[in-house]
């Protein structure tokens, strides 16, 4: 059963079950004890190359420590992700050698926003305190306890994310958006 309805009952991302690109149930609690990065992705965006390269670099560098990236295809921004989740998965794997999990296509804003994204946005607002995701490749860094600790704008570099990620391997909590 996927998490539906209001996000107010959730205390961490571990409370969510989602669907992956193959429409199989994916329980986020499998990541307990490890940091992760959650991205909304699109294949026809100006940030696509840099976003996937950043995600792939981080994943490959830290997956041995339990870190992972979860990519959520979204078509809410200028129709830049028209493909199915399986097409997105094939694109990411073929073009960018991404072998981190690709999820089912979702909405990240509006009345039909996935409850996980409603939760993430409620925990960490963007610039000027705005909750809405402003564009593709906005990302959220999650600590080892399943709590969102940093929100990154599209175009965030490996180094920017690492500054917030590395302390999480030590168990330190880093708070606030970067």
138-152 tens-digit pLDDT: 999 999 999 999 999
Q: Is residue 5 part of a domain?
A: no
* Number of domains making up the chain: 1
Q: Is residue 6 part of a domain?
A: no
Q: Is residue 1 part of a domain?
A: no
Confidence of residue 9 (pLDDT cuts 50, 70, 90): low
Burial class (CB in 10 A: 0-12, 13-18, 19+), 23: exposed
Q: Is 45 among the residues known to form the active site?
A: yes
Mean pLDDT of the chain: 86
101 and 20 in contact (C-beta within 8 Å)? yes
Give residue 163's domain range: 15-167
Q: Is residue 174 part of a domain?
A: no
Catalytic residue among 45, 74, 93, 123: 45
Q: Is residue 3 part of a domain?
A: no
Confidence of residue 176 (pLDDT cuts 50, 70, 90): very low
Q: Is residue 66 part of a domain?
A: yes
């Amino acid at each position: 059963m996927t998490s539906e309805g209001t996000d107010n009952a959730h205390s961490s991302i571990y409370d969510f079950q989602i669907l992956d690109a193959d429409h199989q149930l994916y329980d986020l609690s499998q990541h307990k004890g490890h940091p992760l990065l959650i991205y909304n992705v699109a294949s026809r965006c100006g940030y696509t190359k840099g976003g996937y390269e950043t995600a792939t670099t981080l994943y490959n560098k830290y997956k041995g420590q339990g870190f992972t990236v979860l990519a959520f295809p979204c078509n809410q921004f200028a129709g830049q992700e028209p493909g199915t989740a399986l097409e997105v998965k094939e694109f990411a794997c073929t073009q960018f050698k991404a072998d981190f999990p690709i999820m089912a296509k979702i909405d990240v804003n509006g009345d039909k926003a996935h409850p996980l994204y409603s939760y993430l946005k409620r925990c960490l607002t963007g610039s000027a305190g705005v909750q809405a995701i402003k564009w593709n490749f906005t990302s959220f860094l999650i600590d080892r306890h399943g709590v969102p600790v940093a929100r990154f704008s599209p175009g965030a570099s490996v180094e920017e994310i690492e500054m917030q990620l590395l302390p999480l391997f030590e168990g330190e909590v880093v708070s606030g958006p970067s």
